[in-house]
């Protein structure tokens, strides 16, 4: 039997006091009452670690970079030991055939009981030849391993939505996990973001281990506890938004005073994520706090909406790219012109017909 989390932590020299502190913090991060801390501690003392296979497709490794920086006091030591991260080709020491053998071994030993974490996505173009792992198309490995998994975690916007490699015209046909033909009919948890917040990633895993069930998901498959509110709803600059105080350009007085970034394209009002509450790098800051508009990196299609610094999105299909106002004003102008011409013609006609009557 696998070691429990507690065994691993003790083995790594973590005191029981630190362990209990971690459990309370984990309860807090999951939005549970302090009463749940003992439950988390109990789970960690008694439950075997769940094996995780972490596969990498077309991606930039930012999810891994974020994950290993989880600033939770013990996270960087604990989370990696807490799950039995059997395979993760980015951070594992093994390589080559020895590494690939681990996948087979895990499938054999824990068939239907391990978690498949996917970072990046699979390109379907040219039979998947745009992404090769261990000499085979990644899409084949992904679909095969998915058949044996208990659940699938789609890390980041790549696995959840497609992200920049799926941007128009998507030459490699990069496809998010849930849309890949042949992917097993297993629960898929989307944890979007480019990258997702580290504490969100670790908390999703902690929840699954502690309660032995998936966190509650919204109808698009995202954990509700982190993706049920917009950046905007908890933004500390919201007061400036309601007041009508905006940054007009990045070097103006408003920017210095920390006004709302809405007019320079902030996607906070349309982005579901926890950045404005959990923040980044141990709660240090998040883009808006640093004076940069949210680009909406956890939303589907954020990469194809035109400039990050524009309030209104580009709309494709008009030959040139235009936003709703440009299209609307053009249409209104054409109709207005037509009305004027028509009115003029009507007047002429009327005068002419009056002449007839007379």
Partner 1 sequence: MSDVSKTKQEAVYVYQAPIRIWHWVQAFAILALGITGYLIGSPPPSLGGEASDYYLFGWIRYIHFVAAYITVIGFVFRIYWAFVGNSHAREIFLPPVWRPRFWVGVWHEILWYAMLVKEPRKYEGHNPLAVLAMHFMYVWGITFMIITGFSMYGESTGFGTWQHTYFTTWVNPLFGQSQDVHTWHHIGMWVIIVFVMIHVYVAVREDIMSRQSIISSMISGWRQFKDDRPADKD
Binding mask 312-331 toward partner 1 (x if CB under 8 A, else -) reads: xx-x-------xxx-xxx-x
Q: Are 46 and 173 in contact (CB under 8 A)?
A: no
Interface with partner 1 (CB under 8 A), residue from 173, 190, 222, 230: 230
Interface with partner 1 (CB under 8 A), residue from 220, 250, 284, 344: 220
Binding mask 260-299 toward partner 1 (x if CB under 8 A, else -) reads: --xx---x-xxxx-----------------------x--x
- Position 251 contacts partner 1 (CB under 8 A): no
- Position 135 contacts partner 1 (CB under 8 A): no
Long-range contacts of 38-44 (CB under 8 A, 24+ apart): 39/210, 40/206, 40/210, 41/6, 43/209, 43/210, 43/211, 43/212, 44/4, 44/5, 44/6, 44/9, 44/19, 44/82, 44/209, 44/210
- Position 310 contacts partner 1 (CB under 8 A): no
- Return the residues of window 12-71 that contact partner 1 according to CB under 8 A: none
Q: Which is nearer to partner 1, 11 or 349 (CB)?
A: 349
Q: Which residues pair with 116 in a beta bridge?
A: 53, 152
CB of 218 to partner 1, least distance (A): 8
Task: Supply 313's token pair.
Answer: 């999105």
Q: Are 103 and 148 in contact (CB under 8 A)?
A: no
CB of 144 to partner 1, least distance (A): 29
- Rounded CA separation 347/358 (Å): 17
DSSP-based helix, strand, coil % in the chain, nearest 5: 45, 15, 40
- Position 311 contacts partner 1 (CB under 8 A): yes
Look at residues 64, 28, 51 and name the one whose alpha carbon lies nearest to residue 196. Answer: 64
Phi, then psi, of 38 in degrees rounded to 5 = -60, -35
- Position 229 contacts partner 1 (CB under 8 A): yes
Q: Which residues pair with 272 in a beta bridge?
A: 230
- Position 341 contacts partner 1 (CB under 8 A): no
CB of 303 to partner 1, least distance (A): 12
Interface with partner 1 (CB under 8 A), residue from 4, 18, 170, 245: 245
CB of 245 to partner 1, least distance (A): 5
Size of the site for partner 1 (CB under 8 A): 58
- Position 179 contacts partner 1 (CB under 8 A): no
- Position 300 contacts partner 1 (CB under 8 A): yes
Give the interface segment with partner 1, choosing from 32-40, 43-51, 84-92, 253-261 (CB under 8 A). Answer: 253-261
What sign does the dihedral 268-271-276-277 (CA atoms) show? positive
Q: Are 196 and 203 in contact (CB under 8 A)?
A: no
- Position 97 contacts partner 1 (CB under 8 A): no
Q: How would you classify the pairing of strands 314-315 and 322-323? A: antiparallel
CB of 275 to partner 1, least distance (A): 15
Q: Which is nearer to partner 1, 94 or 345 (CB)?
A: 345
Long-range contacts of 106-114 (CB under 8 A, 24+ apart): 106/51, 106/53, 107/145, 107/148, 109/51, 110/51, 111/148, 112/148, 112/149, 112/150, 113/50, 113/51, 113/150, 114/50, 114/51, 114/52, 114/53, 114/86, 114/148, 114/149, 114/150
CB of 66 to partner 1, least distance (A): 21
- Position 234 contacts partner 1 (CB under 8 A): no
Provide the binding-site residues for partner 1, judged by CB under 8 A.
218-220, 224, 228-230, 233, 239-248, 253-254, 259, 262-263, 267, 269-272, 296, 299-302, 305, 311-313, 315, 323-325, 327-329, 331-332, 335-336, 339, 342-343, 345-346, 349-350, 353-354, 357
């Amino acid at each position: 039997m696998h070691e429990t989390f507690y065994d691993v932590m003790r083995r790594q020299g973590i005191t029981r006091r630190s362990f209990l502190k971690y459990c309370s913090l984990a309860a807090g991060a999951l939005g549970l009452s302090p009463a749940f801390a003992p439950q988390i501690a109990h789970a960690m003392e008694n439950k075997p670690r769940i094996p995780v296979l972490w596969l990498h497709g077309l991606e930039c490794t930012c999810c891994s970079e974020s994950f290993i920086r989880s600033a939770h006091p013990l996270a960087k030591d604990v989370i990696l030991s807490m799950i039995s991260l059997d395979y993760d080709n980015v951070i594992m020491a093994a390589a080559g055939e020895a590494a690939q053998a681990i996948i087979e071994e895990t499938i054999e030993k824990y068939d239907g009981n391990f978690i498949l974490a996917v970072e990046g996505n699979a390109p379907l173009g040219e039979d998947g030849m745009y992404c090769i792992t261990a000499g085979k198309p990644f899409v084949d490995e992904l679909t095969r391993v998915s058949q044996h998994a208990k659940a699938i975690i789609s890390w980041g916007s790549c696995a959840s939505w497609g992200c920049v490699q799926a941007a128009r015209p998507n030459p490699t046909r990069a496809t998010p996990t849930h849309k890949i033909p042949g992917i097993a009919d297993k629960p898929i948890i989307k944890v979007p973001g480019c990258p997702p917040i580290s504490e969100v990633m670790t908390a999703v895993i902690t929840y699954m281990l502690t309660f032995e069930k998936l966190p509650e998901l919204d109808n698009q498959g995202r954990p509700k506890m982190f993706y049920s509110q917009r950046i905007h709803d908890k933004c500390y600059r919201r007061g400036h938004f309601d007041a009508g105080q905006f940054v007009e350009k990045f070097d103006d007085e408003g920017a210095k005073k920390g006004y709302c970034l809405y007019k320079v394209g902030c996607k906070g009002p349309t982005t579901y994520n926890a950045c404005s509450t959990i923040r980044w790098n141990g709660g240090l800051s998040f883009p808006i706090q640093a004076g940069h508009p949210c680009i909406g990196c956890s939303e589907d299609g954020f990469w194809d909406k035109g400039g990050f610094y524009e309030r209104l999105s580009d709309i494709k299909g008009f030959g040139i790219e235009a936003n709703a106002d440009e299209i609307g004003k053009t249409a209104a102008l054409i109709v207005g012109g037509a009305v004027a011409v028509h009115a003029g013609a009507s007047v002429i006609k009327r005068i002419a017909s009056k002449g007839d009557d007379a």
